[in-house]
Amino acid sequence: MGGTGAVPRPRTGTTPAQWVNPLRDERDKRLPRIAGPCSLVIFGVTGDLARKKLLPAVYDLANRGLLPPGFTLVGFARRDWTDEHFAAVVHDSVRDHARTEFREVVWERLAEGIRFVQGSFDDEAAFDELAKTLAAVDEQRGTGGNHGFYLAIPPAAFPTVCEQLSRSGLARPGEDQWRRVVIEKPFGHDLESAKELNDVVNAVVPEDSVFRIDHYLGKETVQNILALRFANQLFDPIWNSHYVDHVQITMAEDIGLGGRAGYYDGIGAARDVIQNHLLQLLAFTAMEEPVSFEPSELQAEKIKVLSATRLAQPLDETTARGQYSGGWQGGRKVVGLLDEEGFSKDSTTETFAAITLEVDTRRWAGVPFYLRTGKRLGRRVTEIAVVFKRAPHLPFDQTMTEELGQNALVIRVQPDEGVTMRFGSKVPGSSMEVRDVNMDFSYGQAFTESSPEAYERLILDVLLGEPSLFPANAEVELSWKILDPVLDHWAASGRPEPYEAGTWGPPSAQEMLRRSGREWRRP
């Protein structure tokens, strides 16, 4: 692995002049990004997140040569598994879900460092066993006493696991060693519980060793917001209330919630993704330029903008929530939430949420930020659309510009990653008629390299101790502070409005924008 990866040969028929060594640049740039000696312990290793995302991401990192030679992966769970059985589970999940191609040689090296410890979270003996296992891998595999603990578990279990890590001495690094704790959202269910949770975690692990995962920050297209805004001269002059009419941030999913009742019922769309992913997208879009990309500088700007962000009032008019009912999606009949397995028949959990935010800064005063998310919507798409004001004067007959909309810059986060600029252009012909056209940048066409999965990037950053892409405690608490009033408001206002699966949410969501003469985009 590392620097020894074989250089692919040119394909037959390719002339040397056309052949560019695809590994060269990647290898040069990745040198400082190879993790040092360490292990990663995953709690909740039998869950969906581990199987579909975490284990494949570990393999992908190994395949890209970014893990150290003695890297060790330790699974911790209640099942009565051996190391070999766990290795077989990892193998299957890599085969099914890894991004990069399966290479036997990479797999064999990774498999040498796979261990399993059986136990429940309140089992002291199991944590003592874990401590022994890690001491042994330090000895046998040179992991140097550097261990990451990934809590891919329900939040109710965080306190117990943190206490066990503390009691068994696992949270305490020796000299020149590190111990880091990675926690998955939800970080609480409101401001108060988030504070309690942070107290529990911080009592055991210092803040600079806590890595809170918001996997949206691991996405290339999300990091590209910073490149787009701060590496170019083109956009900044118009990135403010003089030119921007409003911003729409959409995270739409076509999937339903079958199989996720345990997590989702009682949580709902706003807590699930607005509190974290969408507010982080807003922060990247609205923040000022950081002094540098040092983690503390970046966090400082996000904290500033989140501190200035608040819900527009009155909440009855500026927010909307819904719950999907049965309908058709992709040619398939699907059931409504109340008929999904595990959801209570009178569940008031919202599967669609939309809110209006205002950012009280000189740059953004008066510009609404509309955020919406939902399950079982028309299609899967996440995008940020910065919609510009209309030109103050159009020197055309009205008939010539009837089909001219507002200019927009759309950051396409997924699935068709890229950026679109929408502007008016003359329709070819003998008369002057102006219509909207799109200018597109697409990752698929512009770059030959494929984007790493968010979890690849974030796991590597944990192992490197690089916290830039992890929300700080203060950001998490500010996000709850923004959202809490609408959660209280909804809790006191009855059932969410039904919307048919496969549509774009409840009528109140359309109303919410129409009141100010605007429309949601149809991505």
- Least separation in angstroms between residue 382's CB and ligand BG6 is 6
Is residue 139 part of an annotated ligand binding site?
Answer: no
What does the alpha-carbon distance between residue 375 and residue 309 come to, in Å, rounded to a whole number? 25
For residues 504 and 244, give the distance between their C-alpha atoms in angstroms, rounded to a whole number. Answer: 24
Residue type, 415: P
Q: 421: which residues sit within 8 A by CB, 6+ positions away?
A: 407, 408, 409, 410, 438, 439, 440
CB within 8 Å of 78: residues ≥ 6 apart = 46, 118, 119, 120
Choice between 113 and 218, CB closer to ligand BG6:
218
In angstroms, rounded to a whole number, what is the distance separating the alpha carbons of residues 361 and 355?
A: 19
Give me the phi and psi of 380, to 5 degrees please: -85, 120
Question: Are the C-beta atoms of residues 130 and 76 closer than 8 Å to each other?
Answer: yes
CB of 352 to ligand BG6, least distance (A): 12
Largest CA distance in the chain: 83
Q: Can you tell me which residue has the tokens 């983690």?
A: 295
The two structure tokens encoding residue 432 = 């002057």
Minimum CB distance to ligand BG6 smaller for 48 or for 297: 48
**Interaction mask 363-402, ligand BG6, x per CB under 6 A:** -------------------x--------------------
Q: How many residues does the chain have?
A: 523
* Residue 215 in marked binding region: yes
E strands of 227-362, at which residues? 244-252, 309-311, 320-325, 327-329, 332-334, 352-359
185 is in an annotated binding site: yes
Helix axes 104-111, 55-63, angle to 10 degrees: 120
Q: Which of 273, 408, 458, 476 binds ligand BG6 (CB under 6 A)?
A: 273
The answer to the question of residue 220 lying near ligand BG6 (CB under 6 A) is no
Count CB neighbours of 47 within 10 A. 16
Q: Is 184 in the site for ligand BG6 (CB under 6 A)?
A: no
Size of the site for ligand BG6 (CB under 6 A): 4
* Interface with ligand BG6 in residues 90-129 (CB under 6 A): none
Specify the residue, 222 or 311, whose C-beta has the smaller distance to ligand BG6: 222
Residue placing its CB nearer to ligand BG6 in the complex, 163 or 453: 453
DSSP state of 403: B
E-assigned strand segments in 360-417:
369-374, 381-388, 408-414
Nearer to ligand BG6, 66 or 213 (CB): 213
Instruction: Please report how close the Cβ of residue 215 comes to ligand BG6 at its closest, in angstroms.
Output: 6
Q: Among residues 65 and 374, whose Cβ is nearest to ligand BG6? A: 374
H helix runs in 409-503, sequence order: 443-446, 454-464, 473-491
Q: How far is the CB of 464 from ligand BG6 (least distance, A)?
A: 22
Closest distance to ligand BG6 from the beta carbon of 68 (Å): 28
Does 78 show up as a binding residue in the annotation?
yes
163 marked as part of a ligand binding site = no
| Cβ 206 vs Cβ 235: under 8 Å | no
Instruction: Select from 163, 272, 358, 461 the one that contacts ligand BG6 (CB under 6 A).
Output: 272
Give the shortest CB-265-to-ligand BG6 separation in angstroms. Answer: 13
231: closest CA among 440, 457, 419, 365?
419
277 counts as catalytic: yes
Cβ 257 to ligand BG6 shortest distance, Å: 8
Cis peptide before 186 (omega within 30 of 0): yes
By CB under 6 A, residue 350 contacts ligand BG6: no
Ranges of H-type helices in 287-345:
295-307, 315-318
The smaller minimum CB distance to ligand BG6, of residues 64 and 271, is found at 271
What CA–CA distance (Å, rounded) separates 466 from 442? 28
User: Judged by CB under 6 A, which of 60, 138, 220, 253 binds ligand BG6?
Assistant: 253
Query: Among 246, 277, 393, 489, which one carries the catalytic annotation?
Result: 277
Nearest residue to ligand BG6, by Cβ distance, number only: 272
Cβ closer to ligand BG6: 54 or 273?
273
Question: How crowded is residue 331: how many other Cβ atoms within 10 Å of its Cβ?
Answer: 6
Instruction: For tokens 């996997």, name the residue.
Output: 215
Min CB(116)–ligand BG6 separation in Å: 27
Question: Is 53 known to sit in a ligand binding site?
Answer: no
Position 116: which residue type? F
List residues forming the annotated binding site for NADP(+).
Answer: 78, 185
Instruction: Give the residues lining the site for ligand BG6 (CB under 6 A).
Output: 253, 272-273, 382
List residues forming the annotated binding site.
Answer: 78, 185, 215, 219, 253, 272, 375
Cite the active site residues.
277
